[in-house]
C-alpha cells in the first residue's frame, strides 16, 4: 500500500458555515504535501477531521488504511501531530513536557531527541510558562520529530520561529523525508512550501482549488518576461497569450501564457539586448489565485 492518507468526501459544516467541502485527497507514502490557504480556508478543519479529532459532516479519512473516525487510537499509532495551537502544562519543564509527550506517543528515538534539542537550541530546563512563543513551538516540533513516526501531520509548525530555526525545521523535514517518513504540512510560508514540498494543495473557502507539483502549477500559469532593447520596445499587445505589458524607457516586461515563438520573432526583429524569462514563484501563483479577492475584501 503506497498511500499514507486518503480522504473520501470528507466534509465539515459548522451549522450553515462550510468549513470544508467534500474533499478527496490522497497523500502518498514518503512525500511532503504542502497544504496552503489563507486564514479561515479550512486547513485546521481538514487536519482535525482527517485525524478523527472532530467529527466530519460527511465522508471519511483513512490513515495507513485505518479509518480515523472508527478507530482513532489505531489510526494514530503511526503518526505524530503538531497542532496549530497547543496548551501545555505551565508548571512542567521543557524536559518533563517532552518526556510526557513522548510517553503518550509511546515511541521516542532518544538519540535523535538530543540531536533535535541541540539543533533547535532549546533549553529544556525551564518551566513551560516561562518559554516564549517560539520556544513553546519548538517543544511541539521536537516532540513530533523525536517519535520518527511514519506520518507527520503539521499545522503551521514554523509559526513563531525565527529564520535560523525555520532553517533547522527545513533540515529536519528533509531528514524525515530521507528517512522515508510522510509529511502533511500546512503552512503560510510559501518559501518553506516551495523548498520542501513534492506536491502542493491549495484551499479556498473550504474547497480544494489546486493540487499538483509546483512544476505542473507553474505550467498553468504565466511566464514573466523582461527584455531590454536599444530603442523603444516593439508593440506586442496583439500577440496571443501576452498580458501585463509594461514599458519603461527601453525596457519591456510582460507575462506570457502559451507558445513563446511568436513573441520571440517580434523581439528578434527589434534588436533585443537582454532577455530574462522566469517561471512564477509559488508566492506569485498564490497571489494570482487570491490577490484580487483579498484586495477587494479589504484584507
Ligand atoms: N468550532 C468552530 N465553530 C464554528 N466555526 C468554525 C469552528 N472552527 C472553525 N470554524 C470556521 O471554519 C472555517 C475554517 O477554519 P480553519 O480554522 O479550518 O481555517 P484555517 O485554514 O486553519 O485558518 P488559519 O490559517 O487562520 O489557521 C472558518 O470560517 C472558521 O471560522
Ligand atoms: Mg489553522
Q: Tell me the DSSP string of 75-119.
A: HTTTEEEE-SS----TTSBHHHHHHHHHHHH----HHHHHHHHHH
Per-residue pLDDT, averaged over 67-93, amounts to: 91
Identify whether 245 is part of a domain: yes
Identify whether 25 is part of a domain: yes
| 203 C-alpha to ligand 1 centroid (Å) | 12
As a whole number, the mean pLDDT across the chain is: 91
What confidence score (pLDDT) does residue 206 get? Answer: 95
Identify whether 124 is part of a domain: yes
Q: Is the CB of 83 under 6 A from ligand 1?
A: no
What confidence score (pLDDT) does residue 85 get? Answer: 78
Identify whether 61 is part of a domain: yes
Per-residue pLDDT, averaged over 153-175, amounts to: 95
Identify whether 34 is part of a domain: yes
pLDDT bin (cut points 50, 70, 90) of residue 88 is confident
Q: Is the CB of 84 under 6 A from ligand 1?
A: yes
What confidence score (pLDDT) does residue 299 get? Answer: 39
Q: Whose CA is nearest to atom 29 of ligand 1?
A: 40
Can you read off the three cell numbers belonging to residue 112?
A: 535523535
Per-residue pLDDT, averaged over 55-72, amounts to: 96
Q: Whose CA is nearest to atom 14 of ligand 1?
A: 42
Identify whether 287 is part of a domain: no
Q: Is the CB of 36 under 6 A from ligand 1?
A: no
CA 187 to chain centre: 4
Ligand at shortest distance from the CA of 205: 1
Per-residue pLDDT tens for 144-157? 999 999 999 999 99
Per-residue pLDDT, averaged over 242-270, amounts to: 94
Cβ count within 10 A of residue 126: 13
Which residue range forms the structural domain that includes residue 89?
Answer: 3-217
| 60 C-alpha to ligand 1 centroid (Å) | 19
Q: Whose CA is nearest to atom 26 of ligand 1?
A: 39
pTM of model > 0.75: yes
How many domains in the chain?
Answer: 2
Per-residue pLDDT, averaged over 99-122, amounts to: 93
Identify whether 252 is part of a domain: yes
Q: Tell me the DSSP string of 107-134.
A: ---HHHHHHHHHHTT--TTSBGGGS-HH
From the alpha carbon of 37, which atom of ligand 1 is closest? 21
Q: Is the CB of 40 under 6 A from ligand 1?
A: yes
Q: Is the CB of 43 under 6 A from ligand 1?
A: yes
What confidence score (pLDDT) does residue 298 get? Answer: 40
Looking at the structure, tell me whether residues 94 and 198 fall in a common domain: yes
Question: For residue 1, is pLDDT > 70?
Answer: no
Question: For residue 293, is pLDDT > 60?
Answer: no
Per-residue pLDDT, averaged over 268-272, amounts to: 96
Question: For residue 190, is pLDDT > 90?
Answer: no
Question: For residue 51, is pLDDT > 50?
Answer: yes
pLDDT bin (cut points 50, 70, 90) of residue 278 is confident
Identify whether 283 is part of a domain: no
Amino acid at each position: 500500500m503506497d498511500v499514507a492518507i486518503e480522504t473520501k468526501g470528507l466534509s465539515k459544516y459548522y451549522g450553515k458555515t462550510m468549513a470544508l467541502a467534500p474533499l478527496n485527497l490522497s497523500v502518498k507514502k514518503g512525500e511532503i504535501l504542502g497544504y496552503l490557504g489563507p486564514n479561515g480556508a479550512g486547513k485546521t478543519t481538514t487536519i482535525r477531521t482527517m485525524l478523527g479529532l472532530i467529527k466530519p459532516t460527511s465522508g471519511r479519512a483513512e490513515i495507513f488504511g485505518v479509518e480515523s473516525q472508527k478507530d482513532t487510537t489505531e489510526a494514530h499509532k503511526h503518526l505524530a501531530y503538531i497542532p496549530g495551537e497547543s496548551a501545555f502544562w505551565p508548571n512542567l519543564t521543557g524536559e518533563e513536557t517532552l518526556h510526557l509527550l513522548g510517553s503518550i506517543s509511546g515511541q521516542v528515538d532518544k538519540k535523535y531527541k538530543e540531536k533535535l534539542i541541540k539543533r533547535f537550541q532549546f533549553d529544556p530546563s525551564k518551566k513551560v510558562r516561562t518559554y516564549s512563543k517560539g520556544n513553546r513551538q519548538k517543544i511541539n516540533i521536537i516532540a513530533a520529530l523525536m517519535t520518527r513516526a511514519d506520518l507527520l501531520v503539521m499545522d503551521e509548525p514554523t509559526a513563531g520561529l525565527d529564520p535560523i530555526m525555520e532553517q533547522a525545521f527545513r533540515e529536519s523535514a528533509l531528514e524525515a523525508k530521507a528517512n522515508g517518513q510522510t509529511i502533511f504540512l500546512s503552512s503560510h510560508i510559501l518559501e518553506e512550501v516551495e523548498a520542501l514540498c513534492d506536491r502542493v494543495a491549495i484551499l479556498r473557502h473550504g474547497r480544494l482549488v489546486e493540487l499538483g507539483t509546483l512544476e505542473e502549477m507553474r505550467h498553468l500559469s504565466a511566464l514573466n518576461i523582461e527584455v531590454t532593447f536599444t530603442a523603444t520596445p516593439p508593440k506586442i499587445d496583439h500577440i496571443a497569450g501576452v498580458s501585463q505589458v509594461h514599458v519603461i524607457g527601453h525596457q519591456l516586461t510582460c507575462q506570457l501564457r502559451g507558445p513563446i515563438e511568436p513573441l520571440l520573432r517580434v523581439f528578434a526583429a527589434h534588436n533585443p539586448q537582454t532577455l530574462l524569462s522566469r517561471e512564477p514563484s509559488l508566492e506569485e501563483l498564490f497571489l494570482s489565485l487570491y490577490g484580487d479577492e483579498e484586495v477587494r475584501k479589504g484584507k
